[in-house]
Structure 1
């Protein structure tokens, strides 16, 4: 049952952001990584001296070298993550590298224990048993967030250790039963650790998903599901960073619905809300991936259009919006006609600050509404003069 649960957990397709955070958690454990490596190597050295075993001494040296390689990988990940946001391919590659490192450590530990447990030395058995139990408990804490890596690493350490104990079954000495019971304890411990890891994994994923969901809700307009002011600001800042590299323009479209107040007065606010949702749907269908549409309050909307080279591209989008919103909205038995006027300002031409750019787009919008309904106006000095007049 536990194995089936772990397999189901591994089969889940996590949101990319959640997966990224889980992988990042793997690379936060510098001190435990060093501690486990040093303790395992020290026990290996003690066992090698006590048994006069060259092979165990070589494994102990291998543990030190392998731990150093894993530490170098951890530092490389941190340096890369601090430099820029890694894409999904890079995140998966670092996860795979961590898996190789963790499973390799388990194999080295299991191999050392297999050789040590073949002896009849009770003191060595105490050391290796303490090591395997401590290692398993540490795995639960450190890497339960990636169940597949956890299961493979624990298996790599526990199975050889159990094999070393079970080799004593049937020997002439009367210690076969204690060895068998110890092997069963290893198995029970591994299963208990797997259950603990499953619980920690599920709890961590639920917390991350909930946190991301709440963060998303904080950036959405409650009625329409569009971006709110907070998310619009974030998308605008991202767009400004992009144009500083590519030299493109960002167009800020401010929209104000025409003839919307009579809809609420005549049909009531539920119908008005339905119209606002329909407006949101039409706007969303007109923008490209990378652009953002948001509601900034009442019947006011905004569109951030990115990656354009010419003012005419913004004008073309605005014309499509005007044409789309001029079509009737069917709400229940009512056919409702509204429309929109649009003011446009451009970054970096008209400013790089969102408040400054919004002010100019709003000035252009006011100028458009003074001319006629369904008008699109691009901010320039003449639109500012029109408003001032």
Structure 2
């Protein structure tokens, strides 16, 4: 699937949002509870959550700078100064990245490839900040000054609390940042400190395990909530009988169709000939089954860029974008009519139906959905008046 097609599919919930997610085993502590695999829509939504850590990242950067400069003034250690400068630069990069990420989100939904790039950026800046915190805290616990130990403790706990609160949508990244920041400090306290520092080192490790569990819990709760919203959005846009999109999808399609650019866009409108006869002869259950069979054939026939919508009764609309030539739409319509006209096994004997089919094509740069829908529908009506078949709008 192309990036453009995937982005449109994710925005409109045509199929992707309603998929049943595969289950796997958790790699987090407490792994007995399952963690669901992420669909592309869920993944991009969770990555978008990383764009809202501006204030915590800014506060953490200032804290690293203040603690590091104080420690350097007290100790005159080049290593402390280096770790402080790294933390300040990483914090500035993180704040800049967050600002750019938020601006990008304001321009529209991200594709899967976009989300992966942003996640890599957040991972790099987050781990760089965590490395600074871990190096500073470990260096301070290696000293005999209790004041420096207190500052190191506040630095580690402050950072870890911020990580658990803001980065949990990407739990592997959160776990990595927690380990990088807290584990060196705990080991330094256990190695170089007296009894109180050793106790504090043990507390660090216990709290670190608790932070893992917090990340797991927050991630699980948030993904369940997001999936529920996605499923409800999918159901609101889906025709219950056929599984195709419903009329609400047409309203939302106006936001992206055809998306401008080069090439052509097409709108197809058709209904089933003699559908009322099916209902009268075999009953409404047979009519519903026929509509489901038609939808199955549409699902199998349509391309990645095509969107099928049931607008009501036996009436359907298909939206196409990214066509390289107008004749592509005509060939598509002719093939689809042949597919839909093959016999159906509904009831005791196979039977055939026809279509009254109209379509129109326009350059993508000038295409307008509402106008094209009216034109294609009028062509379908002309085809119906002459007994069915294919009609291209003038």
Shorter-normalised TM range: 0.7 to 0.9
Q: State the alpha-carbon separation in 1 of the partners of residues 30 and 326 from structure 2.
A: 55
Asked if the contact 1:2/1:195 (under 8 Å) is kept, the reply is no
Post-superposition Cα deviations, 1:347-374, rounded to whole Å, max 9, x if no partner, equal 359x84433322222222222122123x
Change in CA separation of 1:285 and 1:56 when aligned onto 2, cut-off 3 Å: closer
Q: Which residue number corresponds to residue 72 of structure 2?
A: 48
Residue 114 of structure 2 corresponds to residue 99 of structure 1: no
Residue 239 of structure 2 corresponds to residue 221 of structure 1: yes
Q: State the alpha-carbon separation in 1 of the partners of residues 71 and 325 from structure 2.
A: 74
Residue 200 of structure 2 corresponds to residue 165 of structure 1: no
Q: State the alpha-carbon separation in 1 of the partners of residues 334 and 26 from structure 2.
A: 59
Q: Which residue number corresponds to residue 192 of structure 1?
A: 210
Change in CA separation of 1:37 and 1:7 when aligned onto 2, cut-off 3 Å: farther
Q: Which residue number corresponds to residue 334 of structure 1?
A: 349
Query: What secondary structure does 1:25 align onto?
Result: helix
Q: Which residue number corresponds to residue 122 of structure 1?
A: 146
Q: Which residue number corresponds to residue 277 of structure 2?
A: 262
Change in CA separation of 1:332 and 1:164 when aligned onto 2, cut-off 3 Å: same
State the shift of 1:135 in Å: 1.4
Q: Which residue number corresponds to residue 239 of structure 1?
A: 257
Give TM-score, length-normalised by structure 2: 0.85
Q: Which residue number corresponds to residue 357 of structure 1?
A: 372
Deviates more, 1:21-30 or 1:197-206: 21-30
Change in CA separation of 1:213 and 1:48 when aligned onto 2, cut-off 3 Å: same
Change in CA separation of 1:34 and 1:6 when aligned onto 2, cut-off 3 Å: farther
Q: State the alpha-carbon separation in 1 of the partners of residues 136 and 180 from structure 2.
A: 11
- Paired residue total: 369
Q: Which residue number corresponds to residue 138 of structure 1?
A: 162
Q: Which residue number corresponds to residue 12 of structure 2?
A: none
Q: Which runs of 5+ in 2 are unaligned?
A: 1-24
Query: What secondary structure does 1:239 align onto?
Result: coil
Q: Which residue number corresponds to residue 328 of structure 2?
A: 313
Q: State the alpha-carbon separation in 2 of the partners of residues 354 and 3 from structure 1.
A: 47
State the shift of 1:11 in Å: 8.4
Q: Which residue number corresponds to residue 322 of structure 1?
A: 337
Post-superposition Cα deviations, 1:61-119, rounded to whole Å, max 9, x if no partner, equal 33222222222333343444445654433422321222121112112111111121122
Post-superposition Cα deviations, 1:139-180, rounded to whole Å, max 9, x if no partner, equal 1101111111111111111121112211236xxxxxx33222
Post-superposition Cα deviations, 1:5-57, rounded to whole Å, max 9, x if no partner, equal 48899986411222122222212211110101111221222233334444323
Deviates more, 1:50-59 or 1:188-197: 50-59
Query: What secondary structure does 2:266 align onto?
Result: strand
Whose Rg is larger? 1
Asked if the contact 1:59/1:112 (under 8 Å) is kept, the reply is yes
Please state which structure has a larger fraction of its residues in helix: 1
Q: What value does the CA root-mean-square deviation take over the aligned residues?
A: 2.7
Asked if the contact 1:329/1:335 (under 8 Å) is kept, the reply is yes
Give TM-score, length-normalised by structure 1: 0.86
Q: State the alpha-carbon separation in 1 of the partners of residues 231 and 133 from structure 2.
A: 41
Q: State the alpha-carbon separation in 2 of the partners of residues 46 and 348 from structure 1.
A: 65
